[in-house]
Structure 1
């Protein structure tokens, strides 16, 4: 078996020097690799190169198989898909399997909470360490003041503080963001927001924009969806999973038989692209 199975770590490539990749003696053009990089964003350039190189290797393996199987390559995309379709098989889940998956994963099949939210954004750029430290400190000071007002039943100064300190246009309406549900704000803010109960959060929420002082005016919890409402979604999810595993197994079998140089192949659910 070649080092294509990922047992050897490559040297870290520079942006000016891309690896020479070959698949069974067929060279992947450097311009193709350079073009593929844009589709694999990552802060670590070595990871970008590995993922881009792997995608091109898999593509070349499937093109090679199409040639062996006499499949017309005038439309390469269709030829690659036909190779995959002709060489994978899996059992479609029956209703018992679908229902069992639903029963074991009910938390995945709920409506999202609906929240009415006020916030104060203490803005700081993602790469401004000192600025983010200052924003976090200011957010903590504001939260402390708001919690003290709440403790002593004093009128809340949230709207006034939003107007004075928030970097969000919502400051003009007391920091009010209206009703929020899934997908209406950035993911890192949403994930933390959905865990909060009604009232002022005793900790600031960090996002790419800075730190947020948050008040949940009202929260309507998500409701459990009945199986008959999501059965098609469950079946589709399980079919997609079975199909992906079958494709991965087929591609891994091609990799193990191939002579691949210049890039390690690493298999997981996220990085098999055809």
Structure 2
């Protein structure tokens, strides 16, 4: 019978089961599948060991950097960083390539949309059955007569906007919680939503108007594009480098996912 926690070796160097168990605390897994956390921890430590061995093989000596006032990297952290800096070469990012991407996906580069909306809020309770029943009952009345929205908001809403018939005024990206914003984006002008749940409770939302943001000029989004593409290029190069190291290593005690 195989042991529950078999030893793991990287080019003959053992990674103790106790160390893997400690690392597993940093890798969430379903309660009924703790083995998944152990496997993720073992893979992370295998990659770390492979990189440390490569750094030493290249003759690198740790030169810890200060990562916060008075706080420095460990020797192993410094070696891994130095290896990455010296060995990982991301692909070139050109403005011409970024411009092609911009032209191919203009909708991704719009300014935030503006909305005019109203809502009726049913506040969160320990048992949400009550708020859901009240919201559904009010929604039935609104479906029958949408013009009663202001009246029903004043009668039922837990938001101070009820004094104004539930009207929230002009809204932009970030003015509301994500669930509310997603519902606004999905509504047609004049439409009233089904109950939308947020951390505040349940909302019946009416979209009164939407102004789509214009596509931003390429020169405006270029710095953001450069930064995002540079990070993506580095991540891709790092993944290739790590995969190459793992393929060359002799690893026993765990099966690594295919690169």
Q: Tell whether the structures are fold-level matches, with TM greater than 0.5.
A: yes
Name the residue aligned to 1:195.
Answer: 186
Alpha-carbon offset, residue 241 of structure 1: 1.5
* Secondary structure, counterpart of 1:265 in structure 2: coil
Most deviating of 190-199 and 84-93: 190-199
**1:258 aligned residue (243, 249, 257):** 249
Q: Distance in 2 between matches of 1:234 and 1:162?
A: 43
* Secondary structure, counterpart of 2:237 in structure 1: helix
Query: Structure 1 residues 65 and 232, CA, compared in 2 at 3 Å: closer, same or farther?
Result: same
Most deviating of 115-124 and 86-95: 115-124
Alpha-carbon offset, residue 226 of structure 1: 0.8
**2:154 aligned residue (138, 155, 159):** 159
* Secondary structure, counterpart of 1:233 in structure 2: helix
Alpha-carbon offset, residue 123 of structure 1: 3.4
Alpha-carbon offset, residue 77 of structure 1: 1.8
Name the residue aligned to 2:49.
Answer: 60
1:69 matches 2:58: yes
Name the residue aligned to 1:7.
Answer: none
Query: Structure 1 residues 259 and 209, CA, compared in 2 at 3 Å: closer, same or farther?
Result: farther
Query: Structure 1 residues 20 and 96, CA, compared in 2 at 3 Å: closer, same or farther?
Result: same
Alpha-carbon offset, residue 56 of structure 1: 2.2
Alpha-carbon offset, residue 26 of structure 1: 2.7
Most deviating of 41-50 and 216-225: 41-50
Name the residue aligned to 2:11.
Answer: 24
Alpha-carbon offset, residue 219 of structure 1: 3.4
Q: Deviations over 1:188-244 (max 9, x none)?
A: 443333322344533222456764322335433222111010112112222222211
Q: Structure 2: which 5+ residue stretches go unaligned?
A: 64-74
Name the residue aligned to 1:143.
Answer: 139
Indicate if the aligned counterparts of 1:119 and 1:176 stay in contact, CA closer than 8 A.
no
Query: Structure 1 residues 116 and 259, CA, compared in 2 at 3 Å: closer, same or farther?
Result: farther
Q: Deviations over 1:133-156 (max 9, x none)?
A: 7655543332221232316x6853
Q: Distance in 1 between matches of 2:239 and 2:30?
A: 26
Indicate if the aligned counterparts of 1:150 and 1:156 stay in contact, CA closer than 8 A.
no
Aligned residue pairs, count: 240
The TM-score normalised by the length of structure 2 is 0.74
Q: Distance in 2 between matches of 1:28 and 1:195?
A: 51
Name the residue aligned to 1:80.
Answer: 80
* Secondary structure, counterpart of 2:203 in structure 1: strand
